[in-house]
């Protein structure tokens, strides 16, 4: 596989939040920030948002749609959905192990 | 810092980004700032963005205009300098994070071969945001680097090796590499909201076809600095844009060897054949029936009488084009996923285990004599966090049926494999300076 998610460095976490936000349909910049804040509590700043969006766009994981005046919506691509599913699976595995081990540690 | 001041400073900082960044994102960022409650954190965040984009290889080529640079430097330094003392150790940690996996960063991700010239243009993972490299591949096992330039993702080279078409921020861009040591940007074609799917030069090098989400454009590039739009072909989009097609792939569009037929993938899965013998009057001649999967690559046989289409999910179809208006399927191969090798070298017949697999069709090509069809697939098992490219070779009969497959497997090197068109070689590169080649039968 190529184009690994880890290559995004410090933009990996914001990118995961952006891909999650776009998973159910296209959104423009501010709508992504508002959505991310709503579902994760993370208040993303514009510099981080566009730093991550430009990297996702160049990797072919999101693509820009036609601008509506100054607002340009972005949509997730099939490759973006694939990489998001991969990340989610990894996170699910971590959650599973963490649950198991904390349960064991607490003697549950 | 008061909200008003923070807002004004934030807007000023947006204007301090590099030119290419501003052209692409300025209006959107200002729109976001109109709605966002700016704070000192916003200002600091944008100052970091200004500094990091100016040192980003994708943007730093431009000559910075002095007044703008001064303003950017002044605002950034005034805001960032006191904080740098406090945040220095944190920044160093971030820098380390960015450079933590050099091996995984550096693999070959994109390559454009020329049909007749010993020139190769590549982009690597570590420079996905910037640098392309031009290579002399007279000896393919020992590419010699001639130059580098910042031009996006290279996708196709003109048959004479003089023009390379790249994709930069969704725009098709033409570069003159006639003097391969001094590449020069010569033209930028319009982007399309639906996304670019692929681009390819005609065999005579006079036409560039660009496939977008729901249309294919034919450009006269006999004067590459002034591409002239010859024809817009509307392609049926079989599903709405929201369902998202595959990202850009150099193999999503292909000319037949005599240049009379163009095969394109548009929408999410629509494969169409076009008669482009007279490009200005090109027209649709047939749609290829849809096996319910993404088309990931095409290959015409050298005589042009066969077309092979590689689909996601592990399906390869071969069509006879004896009557191009009625493509007749001559071979159907399914289940490549199950037959592809796992990292331990064993086939994994239990389909259930593939719930944790990621499958990618990497490349499809006929041999120059037309007697062999080669397909490369990558199958990664996520729990093992390791992939393996598997190479399938089939003997091809004149009528387009396939014989028994030969299966070759090798370790994936975190690198996209490419089939060199003229000699039967698979090329991959796990890092900027290490090349691997594998001869094909």
- The yes-or-no verdict on residue B191 having pLDDT over 50 is yes
Lowest mean pLDDT among B134-138, B198-202, B307-311, B429-433: B429-433
pLDDT digits (tens, 9 = 90+) for B229-265: 999 998 866 554 433 444 445 467 899 999 999 999 8
Q: State what percent of residues in chain B have pLDDT above 90.
A: 25
pLDDT digits (tens, 9 = 90+) for B90-115: 444 333 333 222 233 456 667 788 77
**How sure is the predictor about B150, in pLDDT bands with cuts at 50, 70 and 90?**
confident
Task: Provide ipTM, 2 decimals.
Answer: 0.85
Q: Do B405 and B349 meet the contact criterion of CB atoms below 8 Å apart?
A: no
Residue range(s) in chain B whose domain bears CATH number 2.130.10.10: 105-439
The alpha-carbon gap from B143 to the nearest alpha carbon of chain A, in Å, equals 21
pLDDT of residue B361: 73
- The yes-or-no verdict on residue B176 having pLDDT over 90 is yes
**Residue A29 near chain B (CB below 8 Å):** yes
Q: Which whole number is the average pLDDT over A19-23?
A: 95
A–B interface: beta-carbon pairs under 8 A? 143
**How sure is the predictor about B311, in pLDDT bands with cuts at 50, 70 and 90?**
confident
Interface of A with B in 66-95 (CB under 8 A): 66-67, 69-72, 75-82, 86, 89-90, 93
Question: Which residues span the domain enclosing A90?
Answer: 5-105
Interface of B with A in 229-258 (CB under 8 A): 241-242, 244-248
A27-28 and A62-64 beta bridge pairing: unpaired
**Residue B382 near chain A (CB below 8 Å):** yes
- The yes-or-no verdict on residue B274 having pLDDT over 90 is yes
pLDDT of residue A16: 93
Q: Tokens representing B313?
A: 């999910």
Lowest mean pLDDT among B160-174, B264-278, B382-396: B382-396
How many domains does the structure of chain A reveal? 1
Q: Which whole number is the average pLDDT over B422-440?
A: 68
pLDDT of residue B70: 59
Cα angle: B204, vertex B160, B151; to 5 degrees: 110
Cα angle: B266, vertex B267, B269; to 5 degrees: 80
- The yes-or-no verdict on residue B425 having pLDDT over 90 is no
pLDDT digits (tens, 9 = 90+) for B35-89: 888 888 899 999 989 888 887 767 654 444 445 555 666 666 666 666 555 555 4
- The yes-or-no verdict on residue B366 having pLDDT over 50 is yes
**Residue A21 near chain B (CB below 8 Å):** no
**Tokens 């580098």 found at:** B148
Choice between B75 and B372, residue whose per-residue pLDDT is larger: B372
The alpha-carbon gap from B10 to the nearest alpha carbon of chain A, in Å, equals 10
- The yes-or-no verdict on residue A48 having pLDDT over 60 is yes
- The yes-or-no verdict on residue B328 having pLDDT over 90 is yes
Q: Do B198 and B248 meet the contact criterion of CB atoms below 8 Å apart?
A: yes
Q: Which whole number is the average pLDDT over B359-385?
A: 78
Q: Is A106 helix (H, G, I), strand (E, B) or coil?
A: coil
Q: Do B282 and B233 meet the contact criterion of CB atoms below 8 Å apart?
A: yes
**Residue B130 near chain A (CB below 8 Å):** no
Nearest to B299, CA basis, from B118, B425, B421, B213: B421
Nearest to A46, CA basis, from B259, B25, B352, B252: B25
**How sure is the predictor about B145, in pLDDT bands with cuts at 50, 70 and 90?**
confident
pLDDT digits (tens, 9 = 90+) for B112-136: 887 777 888 887 654 444 568 888 8
Task: Spell out a b/e string for A6-31, using b for 16 or more CB atoms within 10 Å of the CB, else e.
Answer: ebbbbbbebbbbbbbbbeeebbbbbb
Q: What are phi and psi of B100, to 5 degrees?
A: -80, -30
CATH number of the domain within which A75 lies: 1.10.10.10
Lowest mean pLDDT among A18-27, A38-47, B352-361: B352-361
Choice between B172 and B261, residue whose per-residue pLDDT is larger: B261
CA distance A75 to A18: 10
Lowest mean pLDDT among A25-34, A96-105, B253-262, B274-283: A96-105
CATH of domain B105-439: 2.130.10.10
**Residue A23 near chain B (CB below 8 Å):** no
CA distance A101 to A86: 23
**Residue A96 near chain B (CB below 8 Å):** no
Which of the residue ranges A55-59, B74-78, B309-313 has the most confident prediction, judged by mean pLDDT?
A: A55-59
- The yes-or-no verdict on residue A9 having pLDDT over 70 is yes
Contact A46 B294 (CB under 8 A): no
CA distance B401 to B395: 8
Contact A45 B42 (CB under 8 A): yes
Q: Indicate whether this model's pTM tops 0.80.
A: no
CA distance B187 to B170: 14
CA distance B192 to B197: 10
The alpha-carbon gap from A41 to the nearest alpha carbon of chain B, in Å, equals 16
- The yes-or-no verdict on residue B429 having pLDDT over 70 is no
CA distance B21 to B14: 9
**Tokens 């397909």 found at:** B375
pLDDT digits (tens, 9 = 90+) for B210-238: 988 788 999 999 999 999 999 999 886 65
Computed over every residue of chain B, the mean pLDDT equals: 77
Contact B105 A3 (CB under 8 A): no
């Amino acid at each position: 596989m190529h184009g690994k998610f880890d290559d995004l460095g410090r933009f990996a976490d914001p990118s995961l939040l952006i891909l999650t936000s776009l998973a159910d349909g296209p959104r423009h910049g501010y709508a992504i920030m508002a959505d991310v804040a709503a579902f994760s509590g993370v208040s993303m700043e514009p510099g981080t948002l566009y730093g991550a969006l430009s990297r996702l766009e160049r990797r072919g994981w999101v693509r820009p749609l036609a601008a509506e005046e100054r607002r340009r919506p972005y949509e997730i691509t099939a490759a973006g959905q694939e990489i998001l599913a991969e990340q989610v699976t990894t996170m699910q595995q971590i959650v599973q192990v963490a649950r198991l081990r904390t349960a064991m540690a607490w003697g549950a | 810092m008061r909200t008003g001041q923070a807002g004004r400073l934030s807007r000023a900082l947006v204007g301090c980004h590099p030119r290419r960044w501003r052209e692409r994102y300025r209006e959107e960022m200002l729109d976001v700032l109109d709605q966002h409650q700016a704070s000192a954190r916003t200002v600091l965040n944008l100052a970091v963005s200004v500094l990091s984009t100016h040192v980003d290889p994708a943007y730093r080529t431009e000559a910075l205009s002095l007044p703008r640079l001064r303003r950017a430097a002044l605002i950034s330094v005034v805001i960032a300098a006191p904080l740098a003392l406090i945040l220095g150790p944190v920044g160093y940690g971030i820098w380390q994070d960015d450079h933590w996996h050099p091996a995984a960063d550096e693999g070959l991700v994109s390559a454009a071969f020329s049909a007749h010239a010993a020139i190769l243009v590549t982009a690597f993972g570590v420079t996905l945001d910037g640098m392309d490299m031009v290579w002399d591949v007279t000896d393919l096992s020992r590419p010699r680097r001639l130059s580098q330039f910042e031009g996006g993702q290279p996708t196709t080279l003109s048959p004479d090796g003089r023009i390379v078409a790249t994709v930069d921020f969704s725009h098709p861009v033409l570069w003159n590499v006639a003097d391969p040591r001094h590449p020069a940007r010569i033209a930028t074609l319009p982007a399309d909201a639906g996304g670019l799917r692929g681009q390819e030069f005609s065999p005579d090098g006079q036409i560039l076809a660009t496939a977008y989400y729901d249309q294919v454009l034919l450009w006269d590039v006999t004067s590459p600095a002034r591409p002239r739009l010859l024809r817009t072909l509307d392609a049926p989009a079989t599903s709405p844009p929201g369902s998202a097609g595959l990202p850009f792939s150099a193999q999503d569009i292909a000319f037949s060897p005599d240049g009379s037929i163009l095969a394109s993938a548009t929408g999410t899965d629509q494969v169409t054949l076009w008669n482009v013998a007279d490009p200005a009057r090109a027209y649709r001649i047939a749609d290829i029936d849809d096996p319910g999967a993404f088309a990931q690559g095409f290959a015409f046989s050298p005589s042009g009488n066969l077309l092979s289409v590689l689909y996601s999910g592990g399906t390869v179809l071969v069509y006879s084009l004896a009557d191009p208006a009625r493509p007749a399927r001559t071979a159907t191969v399914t289940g490549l996923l199950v037959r592809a090798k796992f990292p331990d070298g064993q086939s994994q017949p239990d389909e259930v285990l593939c719930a944790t697999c990621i499958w990618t069709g990497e490349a499809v090509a006929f041999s120059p004599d037309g007697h062999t069809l080669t397909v490369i697939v990558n199958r990664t098992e996520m729990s093992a966090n390791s992939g393996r490219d598997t190479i399938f070779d089939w003997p091809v009969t004149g009528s387009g049926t396939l014989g028994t497959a030969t299966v070759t497997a090798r370790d994936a090197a975190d690198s996209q494999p490419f089939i060199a068109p003229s000699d039967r070689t698979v090329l991959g590169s796990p890092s900027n300076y290490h090349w691997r080649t594998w001869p094909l039968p």
